[in-house]
Amino acid sequence: MLNIKQNLILIHDRIVAACTACDRSADSVQLMLATKTQSADTLRQAVACGEHLFGENRVQELVPKHDELVELPITWHFIGHLQTNKVKDVVGRASCIQSVDRISLVEAIHHECTKKQTIVDVMIEVNTSFEESKHGLHPNDVPSFLDLIASYATLRVRGFMTIGANVDDEATVRKGFSILRDLREKSLHVLPEATELSMGMSHDLEWAIAEGATIVRVGSAVFGQRPSA
């Protein structure tokens, strides 16, 4: 527990410093812990340190973790690529699905929400690095996608999500983040509640905050490097 606590202190210090550097309030950025491969016991330690916002990539991990930790004050987001046949396991467990990137997924979420008589928050995933290995809409396709998703009353669009370019060049990474910020600004007249920008991870959170991130998703800097597949 000591290492997790110390690592969380360091991450929060990094967030505060990054916000100070660009004249932002530290309260304007939330820390989301990326829980992929982490055990329920490890997540209990994080909760004991005051963390409550968790993001899970895998449905097969979300289900047992959520159910085992259901008594704890955790807010779960789903942040991985979501197959339509797994939507039933996510709706009702995750309060927000950050990886919405196609109309078939929107329809599957709507169907499940209708069946369960609930509403779910979503974010639009955008591939702002244009890397073929990444999921997400092309930025040019976002306006028409927003027009479509706005007609589904069971989905509340809260913002946008992206993964930074897999390079070490600051200008390249920040360009992708700035594209997401610009998409949000252009979309506010259609969806005024879509203010969140989920971008930035352990290695590039400072660049993301400088470009307007409101949620940074951190895993390895808190929990250590994930084991190899």
Whether the model pTM is above 0.75: yes
pLDDT tens figures, 107-158: 999 999 999 999 999 999 999 999 999 999 999 999 999 999 989 999 999 9
Task: Give me 59's structure tokens.
Answer: 């449905």
What average pLDDT does this structure show over 57-84? 98
217 burial via Cβ count (<10 Å: 0-12, 13-18, 19+): buried
C-alpha dist (Å) from residue 215 to 6, 27, 41, 146? 21, 11, 24, 21
Asked whether residue 229 carries a pLDDT value surpassing 50, the answer given is no
Query: Average pLDDT over the chain, rounded to whole?
Result: 96
Q: What is the pLDDT of residue 190?
A: 86
Query: Whole-angstrom Cα distance, residue 76 to residue 65?
Result: 10
pLDDT tens figures, 182-213: 999 999 988 999 999 999 999 999 999 999 99
Asked whether residue 106 carries a pLDDT value surpassing 70, the answer given is yes
* Multiple choice CATH, 2-81+89-223, 1.20.120.80, 3.40.50.300, 3.20.20.10, 3.20.20.70: 3.20.20.10
Q: What is the pLDDT of residue 228?
A: 52
> Collapsing DSSP states into helix, strand and coil, what is residue 217?
strand
Question: Which comes out higher in pLDDT, residue 191 or 227?
Answer: 191
- CB–CB of 76/35 below 8 Å? no
